[in-house]
Amino acid sequence: MDIEIINIAANTYNNKEIKKFTHKSKYKNTICGDQIEIRLIVRKKKIIDFGYQSKSCIYCQASASLLSNLSMNKSLTKINELINLVLSYFVEKNIVISKEWKKIEKIVNKKNVSRKECILLPFKSLRKAIQN
């Protein structure tokens, strides 16, 4: 396992429960049993606060940590672009990640393809939260 993934997962700043949220979703990976709940505060179509809680593997935890940090103060439109990019990354061959989202390559990369469902779980949950 890559030490960088462990370090990303260790950043638990946004691993918290937000009580007065505007958006929420809970998602479970039926393959491995990982679970995540995401709660957001969205104002003027922008993510102001992002809290997640999970019972999951290190890959899912790292993905949630990175996603929560990247999402702060971003518009829902931008976040949807990121989600669509990441969800298609493991399927399409020539996906290029823009400079704005380069940090995501620390976990979303071809060497982690065997753990893609764990990595994608927070993205799927976030998509569900902002669509509701």
Whether pLDDT at 42 is above 70:
yes
Which stretch of DSSP H or E encloses residue 35? strand 35-43
Structure tokens at 16: 């918290």
- Give the CA distances from residue 11 to residues 5, 58, 93, 108, in Å, rounded to whole numbers and listed in that order: 10, 12, 30, 17
**Cα–Cα distance between 64 and 52 in angstroms, integer?**
7
What's the pLDDT tens digit per position in 93-126? 788 888 989 999 999 998 999 999 999 999 999 9
Predicted local confidence at residue 1, as pLDDT? 64
Which stretch of DSSP H or E encloses residue 26? strand 23-28
| Dihedral angle computed from the Cα positions of residues 64, 67, 73 and 79, in that order, rounded to the nearest 10 degrees | -120
Q: What is the pTM of this model?
A: 0.94
Structure tokens at 100: 């704005």
Question: How many CB atoms are located within 10 Å of the residue 59 CB?
Answer: 25
Whether pLDDT at 48 is above 70:
yes
**Cα–Cα distance between 47 and 126 in angstroms, integer?**
11
What's the pLDDT tens digit per position in 52-102? 999 999 999 999 999 999 999 999 999 999 999 999 998 887 888 889 899
Region 123-132: mean pLDDT is 94
